[in-house]
Amino acid sequence: MLVSIYRYNPDTDAKPVMQDIEVDMPAGKDLMVLDVLELAKNKDPSITYRRSCREGVCGSDGMNINGTNGLACITPISVAVKPGKKLVLRPLPGLPVIRDLVVDLTIFYKQFEKIKPYLINDTPAPGIERLQSPEDREKLDGLYECILCACCNTNCPSFWWNPDKFIGPAGLLQAYRFLADSRDTATAARLSELDDPFSVFRCRGIMNCVAVCPKGLNPTRAIGHIRSMLIQQGT
Amino acid sequence: MDMVTNVTNLGRSGLGDWLIQRFSAVILAAYALYILGSFLVHPEMDYLQWRAIFDSTAMRFFSLITVLALCAHAWIGMWTISTDYLTSVQLGSRATVYRILFQAVCALITVVYLLWGIQILW
C-alpha cells in the first residue's frame, strides 16, 4: 500500500513535503492506520509521530488521516482509505508543527487550563468522600470520557481563527462536565468566566467536533447546555 | 484586551450579543414577511397604496424598530466576521490596524444607514 506522509522539520526544512512510502501489507488483515505507520517507520526510521497505548485511550496519535482527524490506532485502513487509493497522513491542522506528525499542543492545553478542569467545592470536606446520587452521576456521562486528543479543536474553524480566545470544543465539553457536577460549588463563577464574546460564543454549531470525536462525544450539545445556563444565570 | 472587547462588541457580553442577534433576526423576519404580505394583499400596488402603508404611525414604528434591529444585527455580524478573519493568525502584526479600519467603515455605514432610515420615516 502507498502511504503519503507529511514530513517537516522546522529547524532544517524550508517547507513541508509529502513523502511517499510503499508499505507491504500482510494479506487478509485489516490493519489500523497506526500499524501501517509503524510499517512505514520500519522503512524510514526518521518518521516522527506520537503514540502510546495503541487502543484509543491515551489520545497521543491524533492526526489527519485522508482529510479527517482521528486516532491512528483505532481507525481501520478499510474505513480510512477507499480501495486502491493511498493513505495520506498529515498532522492535526491549525497548530504549529514540531516535527512531521507531531504538533505543539501548548495552546490547546492552555484553553483546557482556563476552564479550571477540577472540582471546586468550598464546603468542608466530609470524613470519607463527597457523595453523589446515581442520577447526578449519570449527568456526567458523555462528558468525562474525553481523552484530550485534540481531534475536535483542530477540526474547528473557530479554533483555527481564534486559538487564543475561543476555548474550543474539548475545553467546553470539560467546562460543562464541571458545571453539571452536583458536587461543584463554583457554577456561577465558572459561568461568568465564560460570558465573553469569544470563549463560548464563537461556536457556530457546525458540529465538526462531533463528526470527528474518536470517543463519540458531543461537544456541540454541551456548548448548548452552557449557553442555556448562561441565559438562566443572566435572567 | 477585555476593555477593547467591551468597547467594540455591542451587548458587552457574548450572551448579550448572541441574544440581540437572535431577537433582531426575528424582527427582521417578521418585517420581511409583512412587506411580502402587503404585496400579496395588493397585487397591483401603486405609489399611493405604498405611501398609505408607510403613513400609519404603527408602520413607522415597526419600520424604525426594524432599522434598529438591522443595524444591531449587521454590526454584531460584521464585528464577529472581522474578529474571525482579520486576526494576527491570518494577517500577522498589522491585523489590528486592518481590523479597526474595517470596523470603522462598518460602523460608519451602520450609522449612515440608521440616520438615513430615520430621515426617510419621519
Q: What is the mean pLDDT of residues B84-99?
A: 90
For residue B109, the domain's CATH number is 1.20.1300.10
Residue A79's CB is within 10 A of a number of other CB atoms, namely: 14
Q: Identify which of A158, A162, A201 has the shortest CB distance to residue B17.
A: A201
B38 in contact with chain A, both atoms CB, cutoff 8 A: no
B89 in contact with chain A, both atoms CB, cutoff 8 A: yes
Closest CA to A168 of A226, A231, A90, A96: A226
Is a pLDDT exceeding 60 seen at residue A190? Answer: yes
Whether A176 contacts A222, CB under 8 Å: yes
Backbone angles phi and psi of A109, in degrees to 5 = -70, -35
pLDDT at B42: 86
Is a pLDDT exceeding 50 seen at residue B1? Answer: no
Q: Report pTM.
A: 0.90
Q: What is the mean pLDDT of residues A30-42?
A: 96
3-class state of residue A4 by DSSP: strand
Cα A3-A5-A11 angle, rounded to 5 deg: 160
Instruction: Tell which of A167, A196, A199, A233 to mutate to test the B interface (max B CBs under 10 Å).
Output: A196
Q: What is the mean pLDDT of residues B66-79?
A: 96
Closest CA to A59 of A42, A76, A34: A34
Provide the 8-state DSSP code for A214. Answer: T
Are A199 and B89 a contacting pair at CB < 8 A? no
How many Å apart are CA A159 and CA A152, to the nearest integer? Answer: 9
> Domain total for chain B?
1
B15 in contact with chain A, both atoms CB, cutoff 8 A: yes
Give tens-digit pLDDT for A109-162.
999 999 999 999 999 999 999 999 999 999 999 999 999 999 999 999 999 999
Band of the pLDDT at A106, cuts 50, 70, 90? very high
Is a pLDDT exceeding 90 seen at residue B45? Answer: no
Hey, what's the cell of B111?
A: 450609522
Beta carbons within 8 Å of A163's beta carbon, 6+ residues apart = A94, A95, A107, A108, A111, B89
Residue B44: exposed, middle, or buried by beta-carbon count in 10 A (0-12, 13-18, 19+)? exposed
**Domain limits for position B66:** 2-121
Give tens-digit pLDDT for A207-221.
999 999 999 999 999
Which residues from A are below 8 Å from B103, CB to CB?
A: none
Are β-strands A17-22 and A2-7 bridged in parallel, bridged antiparallel, or unpaired?
Answer: antiparallel
Which residues from B are below 8 Å from A163, CB to CB?
A: 89
How many Å apart are CA A107 and CA A109, to the nearest integer? Answer: 5
Are B15 and A234 a contacting pair at CB < 8 A? yes
Are A195 and B5 a contacting pair at CB < 8 A? no
Which residues from B are below 8 Å from A161, CB to CB?
A: 84-85, 87, 89-90
Provide the 8-state DSSP code for A186. Answer: -
Whether A98 contacts A10, CB under 8 Å: yes
CA torsion A147-A151-A152-A158 (nearest 10°) is 130
Residue entry with cell 444565570: A233
Backbone angles phi and psi of A21, in degrees to 5 = -130, 130
Are A161 and B89 a contacting pair at CB < 8 A? yes
Residue A24's CB is within 10 A of a number of other CB atoms, namely: 9
Give tens-digit pLDDT for A48-90.
999 999 999 999 999 999 999 999 999 999 999 998 899 999 9
ipTM above 0.90, yes or no: no
Give tens-digit pLDDT for A12-28.
999 999 999 999 999 88
